[in-house]
Amino acid sequence: KKAILVDNFILKNENAIYYECNFSCDNVIFLSLGSEKFFITDARYTIEAKEYAKNCEVIESANLIDSAKEILKKNFIKSITFDPNDFTFFEYKNMVKDLDIEFVEEINFSKTKRLIKSDYEIKLLKKASSLGKDGFKEFAKYIKNSGFKKSEKELYFNAYKFMSQKGELETSFNPIVAINENAAKPHALPTNKRLKKDDLILVDAGVKYKRYCSDRTCTSVADFDNFNFERKQTFKNKKHQKIYDIVLKAQEKCIKEARAGMKACDVDKIARDFISQAGYGKYFVHSTGHGVGLDIHEFPNINSKNELIIEDNMVFTVEPGIYIPNEFGVRIEDTVYIKNGKAEIL
């Protein structure tokens, strides 16, 4: 399944709506009825919506569902597509009540529509990645100069500060900062554990540029003379080094060998097989990657079950990891896009 062409649809998801009309907010129903589009929101947002929302009529309403139903009736709509992820059960019940319209379920139809990025979207994603890299550099400087003996909680706060360029940018998600055994939890929450010399530290962070996300993970050794987030890391701890090298090779091999025309599950297999052959398959507990765009998790999913064919201008992460419970974890992640059939790091 790729491009789903839907004439009539209804949306509530902010990023899905932004994709349609270049504006969104946290209380909106968007209707697309053939060539007519309606952005229904409340009085808090109408001024901005009229200024920024493209190719749609902005309707101010105190009851979005009632207004949407009126428009559907007025336009004699027989059927409309919706994503069941968009509506609570309560909203859905109110929406369909007293309407003689077929509501057609199409899970993630907006994400499916956004699978292949335009060249302009690739440009925005590249810019987001470059700003994300700047954030990592500034955070590395902070760790080198002031990070030792700081807790994960304080490091997390500073990761947020430097990634967001002191509030200039939004982060794509809450950063992950994890030391030693906490890094064995793929989505670790920050604790009071303090950073010491020669510790292993994992940082997963990203920023948004014009709403498009970046996503990157670095695992580093806490070496204060030369702390950095480069891919070449020299650990004092031999086991840290061994696992780091396996993950890095798996990641590099996967990026090098990924091709348009392959199935997503075959891309996953490249990294997974390498880690399994090294004897650590059971410690690679998540998929190799996920799409990135307006949402931090988009399509394509790079996992062992997805048969989707990879194509040019698809964007996804390559992030193998090995997590040894109560000891440490290593994850190395870059976001790539498919250009002329091959994966290039954004």
Q: What is the pLDDT of residues 210-224, one digit of tens each?
A: 999 999 999 999 998
Q: Is the pLDDT of residue 52 over 70?
A: yes
Going by pLDDT thresholds of 50, 70 and 90, the confidence category of residue 341 is: very high
3-state secondary structure the chain: CCCCCCCEEEECCHHHHHHHHCCCCCCEEEEEECCEEEEEECCCCHHHHHHHCCCCEEEECCCHHHHHHHHHHHCCCCEEEECCCCCCHHHHHHHHCCCCCEEEECCCHHHHHCCCCCHHHHHHHHHHHHHHHHHHHHHHHHHHHHHCCCEHHHHHHHHHHHHCCCCCCCECCCCEEEEHHHHHCCCCCCCCCECCCCCEEEEEECEEECCEECCEEEEEECCCCCCCCCCCCCCCCHHHHHHHHHHHHHHHHHHHHCECCCEHHHHHHHHHHHHHHCCCHHHCCCCCEEECCCCCCEEEEECCCCCCECCCCCEEEECCEEEECCCEEEECEEEEEEECCEEEEC
Report the pLDDT averaged over residues 2-10: 72
Residue 145 has pLDDT above 80, yes or no: yes
Partners of 8 in beta bridges:
33
Is pLDDT at 249 greater than 60 in this prediction?
Answer: yes
More confident residue, 6 or 207: 207
Rg over CA atoms, the chain: 23
The average pLDDT across 298-320 equals 98
User: What pLDDT score does 156 carry?
Assistant: 98
Whether the per-residue pLDDT at 294 is higher than 70: the answer is: yes
4 band by pLDDT with thresholds 50, 70 and 90: low
pLDDT at 224: 85
Confidence of residue 6 (pLDDT cuts 50, 70, 90): low
* Per-chain mean pLDDT for the chain: 96
Predicted TM-score (pTM) of the model is 0.95
Q: What is the pLDDT of residue 7?
A: 80
- What proportion of the chain, given as a percentage, has pLDDT over 70? 98
**Predicted pLDDT of residue 1:** 41
**For residue range 92-130, what is the model confidence (pLDDT) as tens digits?**
999 999 999 999 999 999 999 999 999 999 999 999 999
Distance CA(164)–CA(173), nearest Å, equals 11
**Structure-block tokens of residue 263:** 């199935």
5 pLDDT band, cuts 50/70/90, is low
Q: Kindly report which listed range (1-10, 182-191, 256-265, 281-290) carries the lowest average pLDDT score.
A: 1-10
Is residue 25 within 8 A of residue 13, CB to CB? The reply is no
